[in-house]
Amino acid sequence: MPERSEDAVRRYYDDFSDTYEQGRNRGYHRMIDQLELELVAPYARGARVLELGCGTGLILARVAEIAKRAVGIDLSEGMAQHARNRGLDVRIGDLCELPFEDEQFDVTYGFKVLAHVPDIDAALREAARVTRPGGHLLLEFYNPWSLRYLAKRVAGPKPVGEGRTEAEIPTRWDSAHAIRRQLPPEVELIEFRGIRVLTPFAAAHAIPGVAYLLRRAERLSVRSPLRYFGGFLVAVLRKR
């Protein structure tokens, strides 16, 4: 019997969980995580916060330091266990059927996860449902109008573990225009932020001098007119 899509994704991330953090404490990955944290931190301070697709809890752990309550959800038990080892409150579940009551959180955010959810409409509805009126959502999408997209097309799927590549899970790419059309009616778009706008390829952050200049340029680009070309496009939303 063929493996269900959800089961295949869960197995992929379970297998990936033990090596996921390798190299993420430096260079390119550290910069991306820091920029994402800086986006969510002003909203998360003193708030009830939910992270969608929290993985091993790298960002959630830092959000938990400033939030009133911080909860994560992930499809993968392997990923979630690493987050729990950090002392974090993490549930196992599907983003299209969140195991939370309506209007339970002040802030709902997700980085690097919605691009791998085939039923994006259901995921967006659920994210809005669990957020209180007046609360905020920060939702990150993969942007086809970006250097990152071009680099991925040229390089092809990269390996993520023994015998596995990125090609094993579905990946969607949504422009700012497509994101606007997909938003549920109960949320309003405040603005877009762009992450990884100018980095041509991740390895550039391993080049001395170049890495420093790129980090400065990327921070300046998050809210600049160039943000619409970010490899990661973050929609900042308010629940009506």
More confident call, 4 vs 97: 97
Domain span at residue 71 reads: 5-239
Q: What is the pTM of this model?
A: 0.94
Flag whether pLDDT at 159 surpasses 80.
no
pLDDT, one tens digit per residue, over 92-104 is 999 999 999 999 9
- Choose the weakest-confidence range: 7-16, 137-146, 195-204, 214-223: 7-16
The predicted pLDDT at position 166 comes to 81
Question: At residue 2, does pLDDT exceed 80?
Answer: no
How many domains does the chain contain in total?
1
* pLDDT digits 0-9 by tens, 28-66: 999 999 999 999 999 999 999 999 999 999 999 999 999
SS3 of residue 45 by DSSP: coil
Q: In which band, very low, low, confident or very high, does the pLDDT at 5 lie, cut at 50, 70 and 90?
A: low
Please name the residue that has the structure tokens 């080892």. Answer: 85
45-49, 194-198, 209-213, 234-238, range with the lowest pLDDT: 209-213
Predicted pLDDT at 182: 97
Give the pLDDT of residue 110. Answer: 98
Answer yes or no: is pLDDT of 199 > 90. Answer: yes
CATH of the domain at 235: 3.40.50.150
Residues 103-123 have pLDDT tens digits of: 999 999 999 999 999 999 999
Order of strands, edge to edge, in the sheet holding 187-195?
A: 89-92, 69-74, 48-52, 105-110, 131-142, 232-239, 187-195
Q: Are 33 and 60 in contact (CB under 8 A)?
A: no
- Specify whether the CB–CB gap between 24 and 170 falls below 8 A: no
Local confidence band at 3 (pLDDT 50, 70, 90 cut-offs)? very low
Q: Among residues 73, 51, 57, 55, which one has the least CA distance to residue 16?
A: 55
Query: Quick one: average pLDDT of 74-94?
Result: 97
Q: What is the mean pLDDT of the chain?
A: 94
